[in-house]
């Protein structure tokens, strides 16, 4: 249960901090942090919680990471379901908390996109479904490679949260204009319950399929390369 609570709170912090920065601070007049600030916020959430609870749960905070580590031979299959449920619940509760905050603004009208992920008309840059799928697949795959490499037996593990946090920052710098950056099905799921102005729920499948596929492929490649 300690591991599941760690995954819940870690995912909550990732969504609250990352999506919260996009909702509240990205375009704030005279102080907006822009997409660079949002990218940094996502990286900081993972890094800080990895230091805080990494020794408890391994600091996945992401169903794709859990499945990627399983494919890489670093996580037991029997624990996957519990981790994924905890992560998704953490993302949903964080999104609900963000909604309660933003809806309390004096001139509140609509949450609009609510930092949700999308393709075609719902992509920030109008990118196609294929472009978004490729982006989510590739960036998640490299994210898993970095996680496996920085936490391996020969790695200096105490610096792993820094490498992982910077990797997530870089991923967001690349892909925010393309898909609003998911690489994390739990992060995507929470936002679609509140986003307005498009069929975000109908596009959620891609932000489960592409990251998980990329993660599993990367995990298998890393696992096979060690045996070669």
Q: Render pLDDT for 21-38 as a digit per residue (tens, 0 to 9).
A: 999 999 888 789 999 999
> Burial, 213: exposed, middle or buried (Cβ in 10 Å; 0-12, 13-18, 19+)?
middle
Contacts of 23 (CB under 8 A, 6+ apart): 98, 102, 111, 114, 115
C-alpha distances in Å from residue 154, one per residue of 13, 60, 106, 222: 29, 20, 54, 14
Cβ-in-10-Å burial (0-12, 13-18, 19+) of 218 comes to buried
Terminal-to-terminal C-alpha distance of the chain: 37
At 8 the pLDDT is: 98
Cβ–Cβ contacts within 10 Å for residue 6, how many? 24
Instruction: Give the predicted TM-score (pTM) of the model.
Output: 0.95
Domains of the chain by start residue, with CATH: 2-227 (1.20.1080.10)
What is the reported pLDDT for 226?
77
Q: How far apart are CA 66 and CA 216, in angstroms?
A: 9
Q: What are the pLDDT tens digits along the chain (228 aa)?
A: 999 999 999 999 999 999 999 999 998 887 899 999 999 999 999 999 999 999 999 999 999 999 999 999 999 999 999 999 999 999 999 999 999 999 999 889 999 999 999 999 999 999 999 999 999 999 999 999 999 999 988 777 789 999 999 999 999 999 999 999 999 999 999 999 999 999 999 999 999 999 999 999 999 999 988 765
């Amino acid at each position: 249960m300690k591991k599941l609570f760690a995954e819940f709170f870690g995912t909550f912090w990732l969504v609250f901090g990352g999506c919260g920065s996009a909702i509240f601070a990205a375009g704030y007049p005279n102080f907006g942090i822009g997409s660079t600030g949002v990218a940094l916020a996502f990286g900081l959430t993972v890094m800080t919680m990895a230091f805080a609870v990494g020794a408890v749960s391994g600091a996945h905070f992401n169903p794709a990471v859990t499945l990627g580590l399983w494919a890489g031979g670093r996580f037991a299959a029997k624990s996957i379901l519990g981790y994924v449920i905890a992560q998704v619940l953490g993302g949903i509760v964080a999104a609900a908390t963000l909604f309660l905050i933003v809806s309390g603004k004096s001139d509140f009208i609509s949450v609009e996109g609510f930092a949700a992920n999308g393709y075609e008309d719902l992509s920030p840059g109008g990118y196609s479904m294929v472009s978004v799928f490729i982006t989510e697949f590739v960036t998640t795959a490299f994210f898993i490679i970095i996680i496996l490499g920085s936490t391996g037996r020969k790695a200096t593990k105490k610096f792993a949260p820094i490498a992982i946090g910077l990797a997530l920052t870089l991923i967001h710098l690349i892909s925010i204009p393309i898909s609003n950056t998911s690489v994390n099905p739990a992060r995507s799921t929470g936002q679609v319950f509140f986003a307005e102005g498009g069929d975000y729920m109908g596009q959620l499948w891609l932000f489960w399929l592409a990251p998980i596929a990329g993660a599993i492929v990367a995990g298998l490649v890393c696992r096979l390369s060690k045996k070669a």
